[in-house]
Structure 1
Amino acid sequence: MSELKPDQLRKMNKDERDERMKELKENLLRQRASVAMGGSPLNPGLIKSIRRQIARIRTVDHEEETKR
């Protein structure tokens, strides 16, 4: 799963962004669960990256809502 830039997110429609958000939230949940169970994450920066991607999607959604 690669990081999407804001301009790539703006080109996506709402349904595609919602699907991407769902995938990211599930992935974040899995990563946090593995850390909570006492394991160490395979990639320590992955949780931060996932959170940033979620924030980007929410920002683009908010921008589109305020345009209307």
Structure 2
Amino acid sequence: MALLRMKEIRQMTPEARTAKLKELQDDLLHERGVAAMGGAPHSPGQIRALRKNIARVLTVETQEGATKQRAPAAGKGGDGT
């Protein structure tokens, strides 16, 4: 599991981000299942890394969603009239 950098995530297309998010969530589900059954994880920090990567992807999606909503309102003049 490689560390995803914010720069890399922002360069992805929305479809690629959605696919990556699904992949990360599936990996996390698998790792949690292994841990719940008492098995030793391949890497002790992998669950934490997966959670952080999921949070990074969701953060970028939220930021881009807020930017898209805010952008049309910026062209109205800004004086409130």
Q: Structure 2: 5+ residue runs without aligned partners? A: 69-81
For residues 48-67 of structure 1, the aligned pairs below 5 Å read: 48-67=48-67
Q: Is the radius of gyration larger for structure 1 or structure 2?
A: 2
CA displacement at 1:40 relative to structure 2: 1.6
Match of 2:77 in 1: none
**Pairwise CA RMSD:** 0.8
The 3-state SS of whatever aligns with 1:42 is coil
TM-score, normalised with respect to structure 1: 0.95
TM-score, normalised with respect to structure 2: 0.80
Q: Which has the higher contact order (CA 8 A, sep 6+)?
A: 1
CA displacement at 1:19 relative to structure 2: 0.4
Query: Where does structure 1 differ by over 4 angstroms across 4 or more consecutive aligned residues?
Result: none
Query: Identity of paired residues, percent?
Result: 38
Q: Structure 1: 5+ residue runs without aligned partners? A: none
Residues paired across the two proteins, number: 68
For residues 32-43 of structure 1, the aligned pairs below 5 Å read: 32-43=32-43
